[in-house]
Structure 1
């Protein structure tokens, strides 16, 4: 094996001819696209067998890599803060003379929406309420108590807060932006291995494994919310407006959301920015309404109590190993999910962050975005908990399944049908934002982003393909979607190895760029 190449000696143009010309990597296209065809065939032929096989592999992944993932998540957060708040934080990313192409507000919006949209609307009510009814074992709180309310939000803050956001883009984006904008390497997962393997990382089996597993992971994680959106909206339409909850209704929802995010994806970053703005303004309006018209004093106090609890118990909860069954179902599932998403998400962040400093990037991803997410979970899930504490059964009377809990919160508020409809639109546009962003980024990763837009047909293929897979899987009920979502944890095994070198590569790159830019 060759020694690791000196990044300073890296050539501006890689040896990989396909990367130079920006052509589609057909082996990666066939492997990743073929996986979903095979998955659909297996699900149609024998879904119980497929679910059992995925569950077995899921258990193997969490047993063998769970502790490693916990350490990786914690280390990524710590290293990102260390870089940002040292002199290295002043390093500018994106090449010499690069200036931001988006205003700060637009930059924050398109990153927040794309990264939070995958589950933020769906789980903001469901997770805190589920923890409230069945508290996490670390806290030992009594179910449905005030202590359980604090514990529920503190646990949700861990799962959707600092660690999750840090791994989705901070260190990986530094590596991508240097190697892509400064060295001319493709904006694809394989590039993360260039500091270790040199040109060998850009072609052959190493490149195929890096790209294919990353693409499969993020596509599986995107199809899941698409499928569950159909189930959720059909459930709410029946519960509130008595529209029959049929496969046809679910499929129409999925086809509608697929048509919109495909259109946004074809339009490129401008189209994605447009749907992101709809999403963010709707979120802000609902957040303000929940605070003013919901249990305001409870929300104000429980946020600070939960946040203080989260900080005090941060390391202990991040490294909790006590109840393996609970750990697999919650924390390790999330860590596998976010790790699987990380390379493609970082590519998206790198694409829209040119001209930003390392400090700006890390402050947004590792501090500001987590705090905004925690506030959102407090307003939605905390509102449900506060109402449930004051009037037991008012929220959970609509059901205790995740798709029912958001409806329970909306129906417990004044103007309940209007608020239910607005939450449906929010869920809809969350999936539009996430689906469009991920289809765009997958297409970009497959073509290496050599300075232009990905091919329109490639964007259409992934956008329409993910929607159709979701539509087919819901005909089998939630089981097919759940099996596909669990598969992302399996793909997180190779992806977690792929992103490990960023812990030291990001530091080396930041130091070298600081010297080049005269940062003192």
Structure 2
């Protein structure tokens, strides 16, 4: 246990305090966290909008700047994973399970229940629903993950620093990041990761439970969800034990195959022509309105502002809270890529896949709602996708594939998180001990189980969103540190040109 840092013990202590509060005073925990979350959303919404937009612009700059040629590693390093496997890993660790959970439910909500600005159940609401769904899961999110992941990968592989958030701040603060301040930064990252993944485990268990109930009459309730989490825990711990190049690699490829199969079913059995038309039209609408959506805060319309707080600003805070986990994992699997290749693929591949996914599932759900085939608008979120499948041919087969995909995404996210948590609590080790990964796997599952038993997942979700605010300031410091460090690359990139100039003379 000599490899374990103080970050491990401090974070465990904070987790025990937070979970203990959630169990002993569940209602108070939810009330307090709701109040703080509402304050953060209403007071800092403008800041989140500016921050994510700035990160998008910065990402584009890195793609076209001379820094794009810099390799994340030594100049002779090359990628460890094929491009397809790499994309599958990005997709799985980033937001795979969310796509299944919200694939039909979010566009449907923006269309029929609570549109951003349009009247419900209208053509305008349909277009707006798809546009805003693309916005919430698109370029801004992946630009943010890309920038944070770029900083981590650059310092880890190019500068040979430990794989820690705190290590990326050394160009600004120097050796202070090796002391208490560095521990504080890493504790915040580990805390957000542990609770963020535990929340997903809880919500994933609820949706798997709903799918098994639909398919096999598996009763919905805490006991069923406990069994699901226990089984999944055994599977992702076994995967974590096998290592990055085996467990997560094979799971990510499996996820991609299952996701494409499910997408194919919906594309063929759903309103195929409508899906392609909606995808094309919505991409255009998304890009045409990107600037206005990026800076929209609705200061003079309370109803519109409430919608933004509930959706856009909630998403921006939620994605920021996931940045330590997702970005660190992306960085770990991206050694050997150039900055340009890294930013282009991280931004575009998941964005395009997500857009087509929402076009297929969202258009199918909204089409059913418009034609009165099934009332999906009044269905619980975790059941929406299964009720949609019920109205399609081969419903049992499609539902089975969906449950397998949710479970696979579920296992991959938890597996990836145990790896990242292991890195962060063992001084940034690229190969954290299996014992540490197993401990973190059990802790994540225990958090989910305990809070499911007292209906505390909403409060936990609020806690993660609150933690996003201080971490957003760390992201800004990481950017300053990265740009400062990249200045040392400029003379190196210009040397060949100078040599050629001398030869010509």
Q: Would the TM-score normalized by the shorter structure come out above 0.5?
A: yes
> Any idea what SS the aligned residue of 1:447 has?
coil
Are 1:25 and 2:2 an aligned pair?
no
Are 1:467 and 2:467 an aligned pair?
no
- Measured in 1, the distance between the counterparts of 2:227 and 2:262 equals 26
> 1:287 Cα shift?
0.9
> Any idea what SS the aligned residue of 2:428 has?
coil
Aligned to 1:161: 138
Q: Is the 8 A contact 2:111 2:126 kept in 1?
A: yes
**Cα deviation per residue 1:277-300 (whole Å; 9 max; x = unaligned)?**
111100011111111111011101
Which residue of 121, 129, 136 maps to 2:100? 121
CA distance 1:290–1:118, shift in 2 (3 Å): closer
**TM-score (norm: length of structure 1):** 0.90
> 1:329 Cα shift?
1.4
**Cα deviation per residue 1:132-157 (whole Å; 9 max; x = unaligned)?**
113433xx322122222211111111
> 1:437 Cα shift?
0.5
> 1:22 Cα shift?
8.9
Q: Is the 8 A contact 1:73 1:163 kept in 2?
A: yes
Q: Is the 8 A contact 1:299 1:386 kept in 2?
A: no
Q: Is the 8 A contact 1:29 1:446 kept in 2?
A: yes
> 1:242 Cα shift?
2.3
Aligned to 1:318: 294
- Measured in 2, the distance between the counterparts of 1:22 and 1:495 equals 28
Q: Is the 8 A contact 1:275 1:429 kept in 2?
A: yes
> 1:60 Cα shift?
2.4
Tell me the matched-pair count: 490
**Cα deviation per residue 1:466-519 (whole Å; 9 max; x = unaligned)?**
112111211223xx1111111111111110010012334434444432432458
**Cα deviation per residue 1:208-244 (whole Å; 9 max; x = unaligned)?**
2211111111222211121112222222333443222
- Measured in 2, the distance between the counterparts of 1:164 and 1:259 equals 31
Aligned to 1:374: 355
Q: Is the 8 A contact 1:61 1:490 kept in 2?
A: yes
- Measured in 1, the distance between the counterparts of 2:478 and 2:415 equals 27
- Measured in 1, the distance between the counterparts of 2:59 and 2:221 equals 47
- Measured in 2, the distance between the counterparts of 1:359 and 1:203 equals 33
CA distance 1:510–1:369, shift in 2 (3 Å): farther
CA distance 1:370–1:179, shift in 2 (3 Å): same
Aligned to 2:189: 214
Tell me which moved more, 353-362 or 498-507: 498-507
Q: Is the 8 A contact 1:264 1:436 kept in 2?
A: yes
> 1:23 Cα shift?
2.9
- Measured in 1, the distance between the counterparts of 2:332 and 2:199 equals 25
**TM-score (norm: length of structure 2):** 0.92
Which residue of 397, 401, 404 maps to 1:422? 401
Are 1:298 and 2:279 an aligned pair?
no
Gaps of 5+ in 1: 1-20
**Cα deviation per residue 1:81-112 (whole Å; 9 max; x = unaligned)?**
11112332122111232111111111111122
Aligned to 1:226: 201
Aligned to 2:20: 41
Q: Is the 8 A contact 1:172 1:502 kept in 2?
A: yes
Which residue of 112, 128, 135 maps to 1:133? 112
Gaps of 5+ in 2: 299-303, 498-505
Which residue of 244, 250, 259 maps to 2:219? 244
Aligned to 2:503: none
**Cα deviation per residue 1:347-397 (whole Å; 9 max; x = unaligned)?**
2112111110111111111222211111111112222112222x2251517
- Measured in 2, the distance between the counterparts of 1:512 and 1:415 equals 59
Tell me which moved more, 322-331 or 236-245: 236-245
> Any idea what SS the aligned residue of 2:118 has?
coil
CA distance 1:357–1:500, shift in 2 (3 Å): same
> Any idea what SS the aligned residue of 1:119 has?
helix
> Any idea what SS the aligned residue of 2:111 has?
helix
**Cα deviation per residue 1:434-490 (whole Å; 9 max; x = unaligned)?**
11111111111221334x41011110111111112111211223xx11111111111
**Cα deviation per residue 1:316-370 (whole Å; 9 max; x = unaligned)?**
2122212332222111111111111213322211211111011111111122221
Q: Is the 8 A contact 2:119 2:125 kept in 1?
A: yes
Are 1:331 and 2:293 an aligned pair?
no
Are 1:146 and 2:104 an aligned pair?
no
What is the Cα-based RMSD across aligned positions, in Å? 1.9
- Measured in 2, the distance between the counterparts of 1:229 and 1:341 equals 16
- Measured in 2, the distance between the counterparts of 1:240 and 1:24 equals 44
Which residue of 40, 50, 53 maps to 1:61? 40
Q: Is the 8 A contact 1:132 1:152 kept in 2?
A: yes
- Measured in 2, the distance between the counterparts of 1:209 and 1:335 equals 23
> Any idea what SS the aligned residue of 2:126 has?
helix
- Measured in 2, the distance between the counterparts of 1:64 and 1:458 equals 39
1:6-25 to structure 2, matched below 5 A, reads: 23-25=3-5
1:105-116 to structure 2, matched below 5 A, reads: 105-116=84-95
> 1:186 Cα shift?
1.4
